[in-house]
């Protein structure tokens, strides 16, 4: 039987640690409970939000109306297909535990995504990526519950319309579908994906020409730790959403205008894309716009180790986070003519 709670604090359930209460809250551990929770909310005309690991949301100080569902479906099914293996993973599985288990089994395809907080169900929505790898490369299908029709639907990778930090679920039908299961297609004992310059330099310094999957995972964890991008309660930079802004991707004309504004700065990080656009480093833009690492405004500031992470210090509120993020956005826009888009989702007013 569902246990619906009222006025449940959401801040402690997020990595940023700010925000008010959920009007109603329920933890869902079985598929039938998910359907029951949606029916309960529908009968009361309540909006529904899904909470995973809380690593990609900013909850308003006033809280959020409606029903918040804590997605806790668990389970992993493995099927071998020759040189490949398919893993059907429930949405509530902790992401990094799943990645660690895959690496330990010699399954290649997720190793560069080590150390990312959250749960499996959130990864296709954002098309999670890091260190030269994205989940779009290995997702074969996504199963989701349609909150309008109350039916399960299965989406192929093509139907998910994955793009850089985006998907059909995020930009086309936001909030309509609740991911219940994600299927990944990984390779048995294939070489790890070593195609990110920072990782390549790490192994050059280590004298390792052909790292194993486990060695690459450990390298990613080390790099993330050095940037305070791992969950660590003892880290003064620890209360964050990780990367707060998406690296902007510019078309040819906008990139040309940007180069004019950036003239003379030198060492400009730029990453040409297959469609002719160019991706820039949001962290670089932030620092060059006058916000060095460690910049602080009251109880909120930038990480001392990574300009892309906004940190909530003791006493911070969601309004402080929102105000500081807007200040950074304005600074980058005025300096370079580039608008930074937040990566986390804002809940409530």
Q: Which CA distances in Å does 46 have to 23, 65, 67, 320, 342?
A: 10, 8, 6, 28, 26
293 in active site: no
Average pLDDT rounded to a whole number, residues 192-200: 93
Q: Which of 165, 217, 224, 293 is catalytic?
A: 165
Q: How far apart are CA 284 and CA 267, in angstroms?
A: 10
* pTM listed for this prediction: 0.92
3-state helix, strand, coil in the chain (%, to 5): 30, 30, 40
Q: Is residue 9 part of a domain?
A: yes
Residues 47 and 100 in one domain: no
CATH code at 106? Answer: 3.30.465.10
Q: How far apart are CA 285 and CA 271, in angstroms?
A: 14
Helix axes 252-261, 318-336, angle to 10 degrees: 90
Average pLDDT rounded to a whole number, residues 61-68: 98
Average pLDDT rounded to a whole number, residues 315-331: 98
CB 150 within 8 Å of CB 114: no
Residues 257 and 274 in one domain: yes
343 in active site: yes
**DSSP assignment, residue 342?**
B
* Residue 272: Cβ within 10 Å count: 10
Q: Which of 29, 173, 218, 343 is catalytic?
A: 343
Q: Is residue 235 part of a domain?
A: no
CATH code at 305? Answer: 3.90.78.10
Q: Is residue 252 part of a domain?
A: yes
Residues 116 and 43 in one domain: no
CB 340 within 8 Å of CB 245: yes
Residues 106 and 194 in one domain: yes
Q: How far apart are CA 57 and CA 343, in angstroms?
A: 9
Residue 74 has pLDDT above 80, yes or no: yes
Residues 306 and 191 in one domain: no
Residues 127 and 204 in one domain: yes
Q: Which of 74-78, 186-190, 265-269 has the lowest mean pLDDT?
A: 265-269
Q: Is residue 228 part of a domain?
A: no
Q: Of residues 164 and 139, which shows the higher confidence score? A: 139
pLDDT at position 42 is: 94
Q: Is residue 233 part of a domain?
A: no
Residues 140 and 48 in one domain: no
- Give the model confidence (pLDDT) of 79-132 as tens digits: 999 999 999 999 999 999 999 999 999 999 999 999 999 999 999 999 999 999
Residues 60 and 167 in one domain: no
Q: Is residue 202 part of a domain?
A: yes
Q: Is residue 232 part of a domain?
A: no
Residues 114 and 197 in one domain: yes
Q: Which of 167, 228, 243, 303 is catalytic?
A: 243
Domain limits at 162?
76-209+218-223
Among candidate residues 51, 71, 91, the one where a domain is terminated? 71
Phi, psi of 177 (to 5 degrees): -110, 140
165 in active site: yes
Residues 265 and 340 in one domain: yes
What is the DSSP track for 132-190? TEEGGGTEEEEEEEETTTTEEEEEETTTTT-BTTB-HHHHTSTTTEEEEEEEEEEEETP
CATH code at 21? Answer: 3.30.43.10
Phi, psi of 151 (to 5 degrees): -125, 155
Average pLDDT rounded to a whole number, residues 8-29: 97
Residues 204 and 102 in one domain: yes
Q: Which of 195, 285, 224 is nearest to 249 (CA)?
A: 285
Residues 190 and 260 in one domain: no
Residue given tokens 């039916």 in the structure block: 151
Query: CB under 8 Å to 149, separation ≥6 — which residues?
Result: none
Structurally, how many domains does the chain consist of? Answer: 3
């Amino acid at each position: 039987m569902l246990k619906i709670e009222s006025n449940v604090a959401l801040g402690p359930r997020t990595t940023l640690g700010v925000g008010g209460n959920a009007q109603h809250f329920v933890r869902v551990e079985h598929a039938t409970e998910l359907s029951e929770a949606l029916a309960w909310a529908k009968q009361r005309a309540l909006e529904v939000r899904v909470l995973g690991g809380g690593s990609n949301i900013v909850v308003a100080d006033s809280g959020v109306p409606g029903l918040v569902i804590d997605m806790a479906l668990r389970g992993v099914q493995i099927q071998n297909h020759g040189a490949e293996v398919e893993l059907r993973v429930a949405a509530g599985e902790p992401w990094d535990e799943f990645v660690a288990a895959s690496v330990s089994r010699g399954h290649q395809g997720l190793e560069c995504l080590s150390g990312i907080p959250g749960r499996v169900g959130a990864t296709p929505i954002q098309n999670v990526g890091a260190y030269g790898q994205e989940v779009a490369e290995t997702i074969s299908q996504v199963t989701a519950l349609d909150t309008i029709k109350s039916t399960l639907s299965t989406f192929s990778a093509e139907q998910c319309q994955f793009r850089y930090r985006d998907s059909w679920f995020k930009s086309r039908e936001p909030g309509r579908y609740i991911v219940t299961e994600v299927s990944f297609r990984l390779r048995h004992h294939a070489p790890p994906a070593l195609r990110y310059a920072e990782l390549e330099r790490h192994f050059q310094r280590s004298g390792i020409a052909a790292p194993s999957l486990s060695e690459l995972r450990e390298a990613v964890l080390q790099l993330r730790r050095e940037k305070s991008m791992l969950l660590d309660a003892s880290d003064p930079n620890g209360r964050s959403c990780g990367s707060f802004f998406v690296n902007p991707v510019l078309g040819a004309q906008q990139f040309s205008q940007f180069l004019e504004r950036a003239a003379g700065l030198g060492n400009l990080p730029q990453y040409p894309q297959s469609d002719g656009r160019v991706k820039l480093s949001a962290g670089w833009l932030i620092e060059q716009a006058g916000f060095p690492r460690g910049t602080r405004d009251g109880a909120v500031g930038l990480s001392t180790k990574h300009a892309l992470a906004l940190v909530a210090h003791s006493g911070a509120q969601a309004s402080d986070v929102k105000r500081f993020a807007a200040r950074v956005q304005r600074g980058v826009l005025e300096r370079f003519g580039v608008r930074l888009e937040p990566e986390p989702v804002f809940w409530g007013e």
